[in-house]
Amino acid sequence: MDGKDGKMAVVVGTVTDDKRVFADVPELKVCALRFTEAARARITKAGGECLTFDKLAMRSPLGKGTVLLRGPVKSREAERHFGKAPGVPNSTTAPYVRSKGRKFEKARGRRKSRGFKV
């Protein structure tokens, strides 16, 4: 973790092994709900440490020296529909439609090839 040397990574989820991420894993302290066997073996082999949340609570009750890792916040499908109204110029907002077929919001006024585009 760049700029987070000496801190413990906290993941609310499962840590799995992925050979594509690091050829050799750096020394990490990781706290997670679960670890796969391969991930735990790789972390401990590199001199790291694998903890669960109950052990983390005993070691650092206030959570000092930890970094909470989380995924992208705006990756929900619902986020596509927020913003400028669909159909307004320069809007990339997706409309709420019943289906993605030929007849549903793909006709005149939506595409240049169908007469005109708003």
Q: Could you give the CA distance from residue 62 to residue 54 in angstroms, rounded to a whole number?
A: 13
User: Which residues does 69 contact at the CB level (< 8 Å), separation at least 6?
Assistant: 9, 10, 11
**Per-residue tens of pLDDT for the chain, all 118 residues:** 778 888 999 999 999 998 887 777 888 899 999 999 999 999 999 999 999 999 999 999 999 999 999 888 899 999 999 999 988 889 999 999 999 898 898 888 888 899 988 7
The answer to pTM > 0.85 is no
Report angle CA 74, 77, 79 to the nearest 5 degrees.
45
